[in-house]
């Protein structure tokens, strides 16, 4: 197994992310809509953490705040003990490039680049850009190995199945060795069997000491988390810790 040192630290209570009383409101034509209301929770370091809830419950809005893409209307988000509020867009973008790996529902690979080149591009745009060329290439191949695709490095996205494309996207998210991986419905565009395989790949990253936060509306995937929150209409309706063991994650691979 390939073990990499991780960037970022946990805060004093052992959580990597702490969300306190976060609210998000949107005002359109003098009408104020509350999308998230009084959200408080922590993501433990090394967790496989699910944000679960039906469509429209505020999952994506919340995830975008954790990755610094969107900002709370009120409340605070701490990342390894440091508050995100007050940082400029440029600072947030730089912070995101170093600490957050993002996985999208629709993969978002660059179609004209091979699997390896897609990861190299992420390295060049992020913190890994400082590495020498040979080290960048080695890192890209290590990331592909972590998702079991080292043999497909030279394939274009169009030469890969949907499940393989999403695993390349997971490898790309790992490129700059982020403290946390965030994934919004990462298996939402896959058939159920492939979805289980891709989920197992994502879940396996916690064995490399990565923290993974994923959004899902599927109770079966939510149940495999080591910790989770359930959202409904912008509020947390329940929180669970230490839900699953690695044994039950292995079940997802079958
Ligand atoms: P989920 O990801 O759980 O499906 P979202 O976070 O995308 O939910 O959205 C939560 C609610 O907020 C939905 O009702 C959605 O329509 C609304 N919403 C999200 N973004 C905006 C926006 N920019 N303007 C107005 N309403 C929004
Ligand atoms: Mg969503």
Give every strand in the sheet of 31-44, ordered side by side. 31-44, 15-28, 74-79, 82-83
Measured in angstroms, how far is the CA atom of residue 225 from the centroid of ligand 2? 18
- Verdict on whether the full-model pTM lies above 0.85: yes
Residue 126 to residues 68, 87, 96, 225, Cα–Cα distance (Å): 15, 18, 9, 28
Report which ligand 1 atom has the smallest distance to the Cα of 62. 6
Each residue's pLDDT tens digit, 34-78: 999 999 999 999 999 999 999 999 999 999 999 999 999 999 999
Q: Are 214 and 36 in contact (CB under 8 A)?
A: no
Residue 125's pLDDT band, with cuts at 50, 70 and 90, is confident
Residue owning the nearest CA to atom 6 of ligand 1 = 58
The residues pairing with 238 across neighbouring beta strands, listed in sequence order, are 230
Task: Write down the pLDDT at residue 13.
Answer: 67
Measure the CA–CA gap between 203 and 216, rounded to whole angstroms.
13
Measured in angstroms, how far is the CA atom of residue 217 from the centroid of ligand 2? 9
Q: Are 228 and 240 in contact (CB under 8 A)?
A: yes
Task: Write down the pLDDT at residue 128.
Answer: 77
H/E stretch holding 120 reads helix 115-125
What ranges do the domains of the chain cover?
46-68+89-249
Measure the CA–CA gap between 215 and 103, rounded to whole angstroms.
11
Helix, strand, coil tally for the chain in percent (to 5): 40, 25, 35
Which ligand ends up closest to the CA of 235?
Answer: 1
**CATH code given to domain 46-68+89-249:** 3.40.50.300
Residue 247's pLDDT band, with cuts at 50, 70 and 90, is very low
Q: What is the mean pLDDT of residues 2-8?
A: 41
Q: 52 CB less than 6 Å from ligand 1? A: no
Q: 58 CB less than 6 Å from ligand 1? A: yes
């Amino acid at each position: 197994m390939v073990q990499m040192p991780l960037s970022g630290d946990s805060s004093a209570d052992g959580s990597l992310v702490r969300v306190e009383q976060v609210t998000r409101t949107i005002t359109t034509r003098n009408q104020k809509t509350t999308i998230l209301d009084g959200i408080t929770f922590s993501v433990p370091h090394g967790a496989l953490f699910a944000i679960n809830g039906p469509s429209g419950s505020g999952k994506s809005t919340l995830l975008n705040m954790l990755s610094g893409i969107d900002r709370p209307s009120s409340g605070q988000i701490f990342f390894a003990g440091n508050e995100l509020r007050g940082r400029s867009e440029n600072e947030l973008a730089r912070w995101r490039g170093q600490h957050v790996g993002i996985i999208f529902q629709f993969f978002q690979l660059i179609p004209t680049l091979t699997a390896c080149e897609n990861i190299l591009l992420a390295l060049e745009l992020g913190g890994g850009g400082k590495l020498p060329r040979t080290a960048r290439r080695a890192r890209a191949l290590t990331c592909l190995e972590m998702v079991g695709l080292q043999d497909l490095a030279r394939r274009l996205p169009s030469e890969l199945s949907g499940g393989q494309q999403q695993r390349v996207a997971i490898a790309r998210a790992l490129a700059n060795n982020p403290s946390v991986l965030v994934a919004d419905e990462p298996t939402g565009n896959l058939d159920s069997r492939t979805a289980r395989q891709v989920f197992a790949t994502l879940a396996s990253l916690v064995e490399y000491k990565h923290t993974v936060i994923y959004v899902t509306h599927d109770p079966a995937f939510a149940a495999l988390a080591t910790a989770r929150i359930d959202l409904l209409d912008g509020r947390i309706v329940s929180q669970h810790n230490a839900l699953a063991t690695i044994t039950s994650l292995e079940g997802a691979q079958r």
